[in-house]
Chain A
């Protein structure tokens, strides 16, 4: 993924609103995508995944949308809570290079009361 240096893109969201986090992935051959959440001082935590043969997948309060035409992935968080404040990363993987996840630069989500 592209580097954005020391300043991550930041999304400010009011508590209770829905959040949409976007990710442009780099490889049209990627066939598996994951969203991770990373809180300060911790390792990334799996949120949800999606295969390239799907365009939407829902979890608990989260939905991932995949648009292969424009190589775009989004994560929607419903009714954002203070505990959702974190850095969110998308990651992509190709079947031919299983195990090698390529991560995007991340988006900082700040939930305000």
Chain B
């Protein structure tokens, strides 16, 4: 079946503009995760969803960042009033919820460049 898809693959925006990043998880995966990866860095956890609920929002860098998930499927990550330090690759992953044992399947990411 299809893997995790993300759109757009690349986004260039001007500082101060809002952006929306989309993630389509693997069908049937109940958990969905957002990460950020800056150039040459590891992945930084942002938020995860169980169904449509986000039990842990502690990774969101500021109140300019928000995310929602509807219908237990598609998720959008919104960044308001973008800043240059928001430039990064934003990765989405999904997984089945199987107790402690899980495997996150990652999408290809959205490369965001704020000019």
* Chain A residues proximal to chain B, CB less than 8 Å: 1, 3-8, 31-32, 34, 41-46, 49, 51, 89, 91, 95, 97-106
Given contacts A51-B100, A95-B100, A99-B55, contact A42 B108 (CB under 8 A): yes
Stretch at the interface among B13-21, B34-42, B70-78: B34-42
Residue of B nearest to A101 (CB): B45
Contact flag A43-B4 (CB < 8 Å), given A7-B40, A8-B40: yes
Question: Assuming A4-B40, A43-B109, A99-B50, what are 7 further A-B pairs, CB within 8 angstroms?
Answer: A6-B40, A43-B4, A43-B108, A51-B100, A89-B43, A101-B45, A105-B42
How far apart are the CA atoms of A42 and B37 in the complex, in Å?
12
Structural contact, A43 and B56, CB atoms closer than 8 A: no
The residue from A34, A46, A99, A105 contacting B41, defined by CB atoms under 8 A apart: A105
Verify B42–A1 contact, CB threshold 8 A.
yes
Known A99-B48, A100-B48; contact A46-B42, beta-carbon cutoff 8 A: no
Query: Does B93 have its Cβ within 8 Å of any Cβ on chain A?
Result: yes
Q: Is the CB of B33 within 8 A of A103?
A: no
Per-residue contact bits, chain B 28-62, to A (CB 8 Å; 1 contact, 0 not): 00010101000111111100101000011011000
Tell me the complex Cα distance, A8–B106, Å: 21
A-contact 0/1 string along B98-115, CB 8 Å cutoff: 001101111111000000
